[in-house]
Amino acid sequence: MGTPSAPSRNADRLAAAAARSERTARDEGRLLLAFDDLTPYARYTGVDVLHTLQRPRTGEPAELSFIITTQVMELLFALVRQHWMRARAGLDADDVPAAIAALRRGAAAQDVLVHSWDLLATMTPVEYNRFRDALGEASGFQSATYRHLEFLLGNRSAALVRPHRAAADVHAALLRELREPSLYDAALRLLARRGLPVPEERIDRDWSAPCEPDPRVEDAWVQVYADDRPGNDLLALAEALLDTAERVTRWRERHLAAVRRAMGAKPGTGGSSGLAWLAENARRAVFPELWSLRTRL
C-alpha cells in the first residue's frame, strides 16, 4: 500500500480531532481512567520497557545516577543525529532555511546534553570508585551513536568503527557515514555551488580521510562574512554552524571536567589515557575555519 496522500492525512486528523472533542464534551472533561491494558501513554512511550533498563551492578546509589545520565545522553545523541542529518540533507538540496532550522533544533538538544553533566556533578571520587570496577572495559568512546555524531562533524577514523563489528547494522551504518560528506563538507560544497572559492579537493575527495584546516576555505568564509546585510543566508548558515560547534566544545569540556572531578588522571576504562585523551579531544576545533576567520575580520 502506498503512503496516504496529504488530503487523506488531513481528513484523518480532522476526524480524530472531532472524535476527541465529542468525547470530551460527552465526559464533561473528566480524565480517562479505565483501560483494559497498559495505558496508552505507556504503550506509546515504551516506559514499561524503559524503566527496566537501569541495572546497577553494585549497591552504590551513585551508580544509578551514572547509568541514567548515560542513557539520557544516548537518547539525546540520537535526537541530535536526526537534526544534523536533516541539516545536511537541506544543504545538499540547496535548502538553506531548512538546514538552519534543523541546526537550531539540534542546538536546543545540545544544550540539554551539556546540562546533563549536572546530574553527575555531585558524585565524589569515593562514590565513583565503589562501582567503577563494575564497568569493566565499558567506556563512552564505544558509543556508536556518539561516534556517528563525530563522523557527521568530520572527525573521522576508520579504526573507531572496529569496536562495532559484532553489531552488523550499527557497523554498516557507521561505515556508510564514514564514506559520506560530513555536515561541514556539505556546507563547503554549497559554498562552491554558490561560486565561492572553495578548493576542489575539499568538495570532491575521500570523505573518510581526516582533513586539516585550509586557509583557502577560510578565504571563502571571509567572503561570506564580508556581506553582513540582512538576507545573506550563507552568513546565517555560518553562524548556525558555529552555534553547533560551540555546543560540541562545551559538551566535551563538561565531559573533561566531570572525569577530572570523579577520577582525576587515572587511565580510562576503555584503554585510553583518560584525562589526557579527553583534553586533546576538547581542544580539537569543530569547523575550524569558522573560528580562525575571526582573527582576520
Binding-site residue set for substrate: 128, 132, 269
How many angstroms separate the Cα of 20 from the Cα of each of 32, 48, 189, 202, 273? 12, 26, 48, 54, 57
Q: Which residues are annotated as a binding site for heme?
A: 255
Joined together, the cell numbers standing for residue 38 give 497498559
3-state secondary structure 39-85: CHHHHHHCHHHHCCCCCCCCCCCHHHHHHHHHHHHHHHHHHHHHHHH
DSSP code at position 230: T
CA dihedral 179, 83, 250, 122 (to 10 degrees): -120
d(CA 230, CA 274): 45
Considering only the C-alpha atoms of the chain, give the largest distance between any 2 of them, rounded to a whole number of Å: 69
Binding-site residue set: 128, 132, 255, 269
Contact, 71 vs 78, CB < 8 A? Answer: no
Dist CA 100 CA 147 (whole Å): 23
Q: Which amino acid is at 184?
A: Y
